[in-house]
Structure 1
């Protein structure tokens, strides 16, 4: 398959999720001429504001964070070279649901969420919004979250549900003909983090003398979002695009502290931490290179 004919669709919950988890992958395929489409489900209205002079944008004050994050997302996509980015249904159709932390350290639904929260969206209606995109873009590959949304955030979980339901409906010839010609996505991946890589990184940095790095994180008892490598299927080397990814993360200034510990990593560790992205294949046939453990191309095996 010619690279220019390859089309990748990513479904993420809030602005910044796409860059943190899949930014190097997006930059790689965009730079190689593949079609890259990002669908963001909410504007991230309930996010915490990390810039003191912008704290007034928060939901409990001016409630103007959503439009600001739309601008941050546009800046990040420009840096990554992604020209097709859109919101599910329409900008602002689904509102960030917010979250709280449970006793196990995972995110979960907040005690109170508004009726317009994405968590409360009708699944069929939201899936139909994505069916229209799938049938328009006709991607061979779709990337979204696992059933736990990585760490439990209700909007990540809902994005997972919407993505999978839409992918199941899109190829049905008789379903909602008004949404376009049917299309079957050949491969679906869940983004992941490598448990092996996390253990190695934590131990290396602590051995170098930084005992505060990921303080409280036990390398032998990692959170649920860390996936054992036996369950990974694809590893994308985005080292050539790691600088673009970091710059795109900086564009999400209200959400990511650019002088935090991850930005202070040594070059070698940073290249591996931010330039390597991991995936689990949940639909399609794995096609790693001969003798290799993982796929190195999400389009591997497709004609």
Structure 2
């Protein structure tokens, strides 16, 4: 049995980015540990969703534990930082925000968990945080340093296949699908994920799609049933979430791995 520690910025990031890898590891008999930097205090929630006296922070913590159970995580830890909001927002510079946290300080907190768990594998995000969110970028910085401090050698940077997304959009357009504003200008893809040539691992998680979907539903304060995530067709959901992509420094060129815990 190996131990997978997966590190994220906010509640719900885990099911979207690596939910399939988490469930796959669990079903194969490995230990799965979820670490979240913030409680997602600055997420958006519909008016009237929370019960009287309940805070969004409290709800998102509860949702994280529910989703973790679905995905097979046996331990959930929060590092205790505050959600930094979107890039350029005042929350970025607020005292206690994850974006302003000293990397060495936050990395030592994560490294302590890696040591306790004798972690074999750590997942973080790519150096742009997948799409430029400050807390996601900080996950990369903190995660890389924590791995150094703890001696965790196998580190995978979760990302998206920019070229695969482009191909999917172009194929849908060729079939006459109405993509609305989403399909009008593909320049936005330059800020999403990484080019296929930089990716080193491709994990097929189609067997765990229902677990990913149910974990998303567990984060009801952020992922509504009529949201883009849950309202799309089965085929579209499979295309979007059936493969999880990673970069492992020092590996490649090209995609050479299909299982993050292979050989462990």
TM-score by length of 2: 0.90
1:125 aligned residue (87, 101, 105): 105
Question: What residue is the counterpart of 1:77 in the other structure?
Answer: 68
Q: Hey, what's the Cα distance between the residues in 1 that align with 2:47 and 2:174?
A: 34
Cα deviations across residues 104-160 of structure 1 (Å, max 9, x unaligned)? Answer: xxxx14235421211222322212111110111111211101222122222112222
In the alignment, is residue 274 of structure 1 matched against residue 254 of structure 2?
no
Could you say which structure has the larger radius of gyration? 1
2:5 aligned residue (3, 6, 9): 9
1:20 aligned residue (16, 19, 26): 16
1:162 aligned residue (128, 137, 142): 142
Cα deviations across residues 82-106 of structure 1 (Å, max 9, x unaligned)? Answer: 2211112xxxx2111112xxxxxxx
Partner secondary structure for residue 256 of structure 1: coil
Question: What residue is the counterpart of 1:230 in the other structure?
Answer: 197
1:144 aligned residue (124, 148, 151): 124
Deviation of the 1:249 alpha carbon = 0.7
- The verdict on how the C-alpha distance between 1:123 and 1:220 changes in structure 2, with shifts beyond 3 A counting, is closer
Cα deviations across residues 153-180 of structure 1 (Å, max 9, x unaligned)? Answer: 221122222111111122xxxxxxxxxx
Question: What residue is the counterpart of 2:90 in the other structure?
Answer: 111
Q: Hey, what's the Cα distance between the residues in 2 that align with 1:63 and 1:160?
A: 31
TM-score by length of 1: 0.79
Contact 1:45–1:63 (8 Å) recurs in 2: no
Question: What residue is the counterpart of 1:177 in the other structure?
Answer: none
Q: Which runs of 5+ in 1 are unaligned?
A: 100-107, 171-183
Question: What residue is the counterpart of 1:94 in the other structure?
Answer: 81
Deviation of the 1:263 alpha carbon = 3.0
- The verdict on how the C-alpha distance between 1:139 and 1:86 changes in structure 2, with shifts beyond 3 A counting, is same
Contact 1:201–1:269 (8 Å) recurs in 2: no
Question: What residue is the counterpart of 1:52 in the other structure?
Answer: 47
Partner secondary structure for residue 203 of structure 2: strand
RMSD: 2.4
Contact 2:31–2:74 (8 Å) recurs in 1: no
Question: What residue is the counterpart of 1:194 in the other structure?
Answer: 161
- The verdict on how the C-alpha distance between 1:45 and 1:261 changes in structure 2, with shifts beyond 3 A counting, is closer
- The verdict on how the C-alpha distance between 1:213 and 1:258 changes in structure 2, with shifts beyond 3 A counting, is farther
1:247 aligned residue (214, 218, 228): 214
Partner secondary structure for residue 182 of structure 2: coil
Deviation of the 1:214 alpha carbon = 5.8
Q: Hey, what's the Cα distance between the residues in 1 that align with 2:147 and 2:84?
A: 23
Q: Hey, what's the Cα distance between the residues in 2 that align with 1:212 and 1:287?
A: 34
In the alignment of these two chains, the number of paired residues is 263
Q: Hey, what's the Cα distance between the residues in 1 that align with 2:74 and 2:81?
A: 22
Deviation of the 1:229 alpha carbon = 1.1
In the alignment, is residue 298 of structure 1 matched against residue 248 of structure 2?
no
Q: Hey, what's the Cα distance between the residues in 2 that align with 1:274 and 1:214?
A: 21
